[in-house]
Structure 1
């Protein structure tokens, strides 16, 4: 159809413009300006869902995993989207899928791949939580902050879902916590845990490499038999990620 249509002013085929656009698209891709994928949501088990958002790092889309859990009283959000363009679409997608609103949000450390959406969700009336240490680091770094913070490991109950936060020690950051759902044996490790796809520890600018090994041993001892482990980036749900992270830390040291 485009090949048969002509511009009345120049008498040149419009397909020239179309071809130019296609070439520009390929050029952008070849030179690293790949299109950032949209928010994806993947069922994990029962009422648990892993959602993945992306950021452009060095011209390539980089995935960040987070999680939400559907209870009979609303949805629990563990970490926020990385990119602000996904803050509202996530809420919209959750409501469309489950006809429920997010009623609680917890961020597991102060980096923006965990906490970027805290201010946005706080302004939309969603109770937001972090540890006290995460709050202090967020203030120090000028990052988004939660409305509430807890000083020690805390148990939360939202409708028929019960979970606990646990601080095993410094690792990826000084403040990284994990979230554990005992009944379902789901461990959300966030960026403290490295995917089995990772060959290194990734960004370590705020890490405590010396403490990380002991932190992992403490975490493995605390939750020795999880059914699912969710790391902060790349492939998720393999319990092997715990031992894999420990191996990477030992190699780094």
Structure 2
């Protein structure tokens, strides 16, 4: 089978960062994510992603982020086995295959039209999985989703690329559409957003982060009905040990000396 040609730039190209990281981490003997689908997808696309320079520490961090979001999603589906799942900015992530939800789950993948087109060429069709081809900041797509079930909304590596007002708008639309559910995503403090603008992989795409979250409780004030359930900014000691010595030192420095400067976190809200 011929590789699928790809021509993505800017924010769209960042999907290759996460895909490359998940494939690389899953090839390690001590892999946490064990995502065989990522390596298969990377093999199927015709592109040179070496210029992205996804380093070892970024690889570990992305895998840990995906792993935690997977566990939160699985926990929600155990409580609500007939839920709706909305995967915002899905890219080429294989979450639906990693989690393998039961037949009662209704799953939606949403991303730019060219990304969805590529995704449909890379991954096989799956029952009860619907593709929505549009930007998450557009208004009309939410009306296409049935609002008769609790919903799990996942946004991985997506919201920080939006403007402040766009993030709150998107979350308000979602929380106002579904009867109940959870929203999980990654976020970075203002200081971390400035630092990440110098990340070699992100810089190579031409994309840049805009939205910062210094206080997760702030989203409760911006989005009526949203309630913070969990805020994870700590690293498991076993995963810290997998990082390079400079990265381990940096984590220790921020946890002891530079605590006012919030770095990355995973947050889970209910509504």
TM-score in terms of structure 2 length:
0.37
Tell me which of the two structures has the higher relative contact order, counting C-alpha pairs closer than 8 angstroms and 6 or more residues apart. 2
Report the structure, 1 or 2, having the larger helix content.
Answer: 2
- Which structure: larger Rg? 1
Report the structure, 1 or 2, having the larger strand content.
Answer: 1
